[in-house]
Structure 1
Amino acid sequence: MTELMIGTAIDDDAPVLLDPRRFNRHTFWCGQSGSGKTYALGVVLEQLLLHTELPLLILDPNADFVRLGDVRPTTGTTDSVHLAGLDIRVFRSGRADGERLRVRYVDLSPAAKAAVLQIDPIADAEEYNVLLHLEVSAAPFDSVEMVRGLRASGEPVRARLANRMENLQVLEWELWSRGAASVVDTIHERPRATVLDLGGFENPAEPRVAALAVLEHLWAHREERRPVLIVIDEAHNLCSPDPVTAVERALTAKLVQIAAEGRKFGLWLFLSTQRPTKIHPNVLSQCDNLGLMRVNAPRDLAELGEVFGFASEDAIRRAQSFVQGQALFAGGFIAEPTFVQMGERLTQEAGGDVRVPLTK
Structure 2
Amino acid sequence: MTRELPVGSLIGSDLPAPAHVLAPRLNRHTFWCGQSGSGKTYALGVLLEQVLLHTRLPLVILDPNSDFVRLGEVRQGVAADAAAELASRDIRVFRPGDAVRPLHARFLQLPLRSRAALMQIDPLVDFDEYNTMLRFEDEMPHVKDGDLVAHLRAGEGTIRQRLATRLENLGVADWDLWAWGKRSITDDIDERPDAAVLDLGGFSTQAEARAAALAALDHLWEKREERIGRLIVIDEAHNLCPPDPASPVDRLLTERIVQIAAEGRKYGLWLLLSTQRPTKVHPNALSQCDNLALMRMSSPRDLDDLAEVFGYAPMSLLERSPGFAQGQALFAGGFVQAPALVQMGERLAQEGGRDVPVPLR
Interval of TM-score (by shorter of Structure 1 and Structure 2): over 0.9
Instruction: Look up the SS of the partner of 2:228 in the other structure.
Output: coil
Q: Which runs of 5+ in 2 are unaligned?
A: none
CA distance in 1, matches of 2:201, 2:24: 31
Show the 5 A alignment for 1:51-70.
51-70=54-73
RMSD of equivalent CA atoms:
1.4
Deviation at 1:156, TM superposition (A): 1.8
**Alpha-carbon contact 1:106-1:138 (below 8 Å) kept:** no
CA distance in 2, matches of 1:330, 1:258: 22
Instruction: Look up the SS of the partner of 2:212 in the other structure.
Output: helix
1:271 to 273, 281, 284: 273
Report Cα offsets for 1:26-48 as digits up to 9, x if no partner: 00000000000000000000111
Structure 1 residue 315 and structure 2 residue 323: aligned?
no
Instruction: Look up the SS of the partner of 2:43 in the other structure.
Output: helix
Instruction: Look up the SS of the partner of 1:199 in the other structure.
Output: helix
CA distance in 1, matches of 2:208, 2:54: 34
CA distance in 2, matches of 1:127, 1:249: 20
CA distance in 1, matches of 2:357, 2:81: 34
Match of 1:142 in 2: 146
Match of 2:30 in 1: 27
Match of 1:89 in 2: 92
Match of 1:184 in 2: 186
Match of 2:9 in 1: 8
CA distance in 2, matches of 1:271, 1:133: 37
Structure 1 residue 79 and structure 2 residue 82: aligned?
yes
Shift in CA distance, 139/163, structure 1 to aligned 2, threshold 3 Å: closer
Match of 2:227 in 1: 225
Match of 1:196 in 2: 198
Report Cα offsets for 1:218-247 as digits up to 9, x if no partner: 111111111110001111111111100000
Report Cα offsets for 1:77-102 as digits up to 9, x if no partner: 211111111111110125x6652101
CA distance in 1, matches of 2:77, 2:320: 32
TM-score when scaled to structure 1? 0.96
**Alpha-carbon contact 1:139-1:178 (below 8 Å) kept:** no
Match of 1:255 in 2: 257
1:132 to 131, 134, 158: 134
Instruction: Look up the SS of the partner of 1:353 in the other structure.
Output: coil
Deviation at 1:138, TM superposition (A): 7.3
CA distance in 2, matches of 1:141, 1:306: 53
Instruction: Look up the SS of the partner of 1:86 in the other structure.
Output: coil
Instruction: Look up the SS of the partner of 1:58 in the other structure.
Output: strand
CA distance in 1, matches of 2:249, 2:308: 30
Instruction: Look up the SS of the partner of 1:136 in the other structure.
Output: helix
Identity %: 60
AA matched with 1:8: S
Deviation at 1:159, TM superposition (A): 1.8
CA distance in 1, matches of 2:142, 2:177: 15
**Alpha-carbon contact 1:32-1:275 (below 8 Å) kept:** yes
AA matched with 1:312: P
Instruction: Look up the SS of the partner of 1:99 in the other structure.
Output: coil
CA distance in 1, matches of 2:328, 2:142: 49
AA matched with 2:86: L
**Alpha-carbon contact 1:139-1:179 (below 8 Å) kept:** no
**Alpha-carbon contact 1:25-1:289 (below 8 Å) kept:** yes
Give the total of aligned pairs: 356
**Alpha-carbon contact 2:73-2:87 (below 8 Å) kept:** yes
AA matched with 1:304: L
CA distance in 2, matches of 1:216, 1:97: 25
Report Cα offsets for 1:141-162 as digits up to 9, x if no partner: 433xx32343343412222212
Shift in CA distance, 248/222, structure 1 to aligned 2, threshold 3 Å: same
**Alpha-carbon contact 1:236-1:279 (below 8 Å) kept:** yes
Q: Which runs of 5+ in 1 are unaligned?
A: none
CA distance in 1, matches of 2:168, 2:73: 42
CA distance in 1, matches of 2:155, 2:346: 62
TM-score when scaled to structure 2? 0.96
**Alpha-carbon contact 2:291-2:333 (below 8 Å) kept:** yes
CA distance in 1, matches of 2:87, 2:41: 21
